[in-house]
Amino acid sequence: MLKTASAAIAGTSLLGMEALASNSHAGTSPAKKALIIGAHPDDPETGCGGTMLVLKKAGYEVVSVYMTKGEAGIPGKTHEESSAIRVSEATKASDMLGARPVFMTQIDGSTEINKERYVEMRELIAAEKPDVVFTHWPIDSHADHRVCSSLVYDAWRRLGYNFELYYFEVMSGMQSQLFQPTDYVNISSMANQKREACNCHASQDMEAVYEWHELMERFRGIEFGCKAAEAFIHLQKNKNDLFV
Ligand SMILES: [Zn+2]
């Protein structure tokens, strides 16, 4: 279970491991790795930017995966113009969160689920060898978010459930729906840093987007008993999956 930032810093378990022990660069074990896979530039940051900072502090290698480059995300701009701006924004935001950005090849607004796309997502995750993956909750009004979630879920089961899978929420009530958290992360001490990273997405009217996410952080904080939190759904491995 994900624990609070303060718990991680105190050296107690994070994702069921001794966070600071796993962080020990004096040891021989490599750092744990977390992939945050979002459909568009700004999804990983708004959905779990605070948790990315917590994981980084706990010694994880953190990778932001963007399934598209936000090609359709700036009115009046061509796909080429928009993707150049949004890749630059996402790269800056990832840098501020201590994450390595990875950009995939799907097109914003026209994402696909087919055999080739399943293979593409599976091969990317297999090559990264993550310990934990965060992605979109599948019940979401944005089709690209649903596609991303389905591709990651399929990769998870076809890779033999060899990483922990957590779903994050974005703009709940407008995009994510029926999101009932199983886990929370206290991001109170990271909220400002998260906000600054999200502000890198200047093309996305982040003022309005963040007004929404600030309410979510506050509400999840009320549920968890802290000032600000991010919430997740941890999906358990399907022990009866006959096809793995
Ligand atoms: Zn999105």
Given a cut of 60, whether residue 102 has pLDDT beyond it is yes
Question: 36 CA to middle of ligand 1, Å?
Answer: 13
Question: 143 CA to middle of ligand 1, Å?
Answer: 9
Fold of 2-235: Rossmann fold (3.40.50)
Question: 193 CA to middle of ligand 1, Å?
Answer: 20
CA dist 119 and 28 (Å) reads: 33
pLDDT of 172-224, one tens digit each? 999 999 999 999 999 999 999 999 999 999 999 999 889 999 999 999 999 99
C-alpha torsion sign, points 124, 177, 235, 169: positive
CB 205 within 8 A of CB 175: no
The Cβ of residue 130 has, within 10 Å, a number of other Cβ atoms equal to 25
Question: 208 CA to middle of ligand 1, Å?
Answer: 14
Q: Which amino acid is present at 174?
A: M
N-term to C-term CA, the chain: 25
Give me the mean pLDDT over the 9-22 stretch: 36
For the chain, the structural domain boundaries read 2-235
Question: 12 CA to middle of ligand 1, Å?
Answer: 33
CA dist 105 and 108 (Å) reads: 9
